[in-house]
Amino acid sequence: MEKWLSLWSIGQNGTPSDFTAIKQAGFDGVEIWAEQHRSKEYLDYAKQVGFKIGMHLPFHDLNLATPDPVVYERTFHVLTEWMETLSKYGGRHATFHGGYAWSSEERDETLIRIRERLLSLNEKAKQYGIELLLENLIPDKLNYCHHIASNVEEWLDLIHEANIKACLDIGHLAVMGDNLETTIAKLGSALGAVHLSDNDRKSDLHLLPGEGENLSKDLNNYLEAYQYSGPIVYEINPYKYSLQDIIEHITKVNV
Ligand SMILES: [Zn+2]
């Protein structure tokens, strides 16, 4: 397995020397957070240091499942542009959110729409040599909007139908209330990346491992049991921790 860092975790003012420090701490790769102010500079720094590169595609104001054709066109265009940029840096994977239905009553028709759109997006991804990873999201507990995918069965269906892979966010999964080992077993070879952070199973706090309910306890054993060898991406709250905190944690423990 490979140890990666989400660059969301380093905040908006990362420097080339931060990237060197991340490398020295033993990280193999970085996941570019496309929405950061300096994500393009971060791509350059990552390349200079020799990291493996992936990307978390942008999602704010971009609803891939929208009923509005103009919003969809814009979303598709922005995601495609980022995949093109990522491919120029030799990037491997692009994690993305499936968007949401405006109301839970519209869930079924929204799922029909998103199925087609995932196929189109994957056509583009293949052109750029990028592997698309659909991330599991936290359900809207009010049941007002429906986030895609916020239950495991729906997630698996979409991944298999579109022939894409999954980014398993273990913090989101805990808030969804699903079991980690069972979910890893169900994903099997469709698992493309893991997002690692801790929380209290109620809120998506993005804590360092061990500072919440210790969600990543036994994670490595489960992943090994199902022959997973891809990225484990630390996705840690930059508003609570510094890069130094993360590096100190990493030097103390293995994943
Ligand atoms: Zn995400």
Distance 169 CA to ligand 1 centre (A): 8
Per-residue pLDDT tens over the stretch 135-163: 999 999 898 999 999 999 999 999 999 99
- pLDDT value, residue 200: 98
Residue written as token pair 């079924």: 108
Distance 136 CA to ligand 1 centre (A): 8
The residues spanned by each domain of the chain are 2-252
| Extended beta strands in the chain, E state | 2-6, 29-33, 52-56, 93-96, 100-101, 131-135, 146-147, 165-169, 191-196, 231-234
Give the number of other CB atoms < 10 A from CB of residue 48: 11
Per-residue pLDDT tens over the stretch 3-53: 999 999 999 999 999 999 999 999 999 999 999 999 999 999 999 999 999
Give yes or no for residue 180 having a pLDDT over 70: yes
Distance 251 CA to ligand 1 centre (A): 26
Q: May I ask the CATH class of domain 2-252?
A: alpha beta
pTM over 0.85: yes
Distance 62 CA to ligand 1 centre (A): 13
Give the number of other CB atoms < 10 A from CB of residue 173: 22
- pLDDT value, residue 253: 81
Residue 13: how many CA atoms within 13 Å on its side-chain side?
A: 2
- Can you tell me the mean pLDDT for 165-192? 98
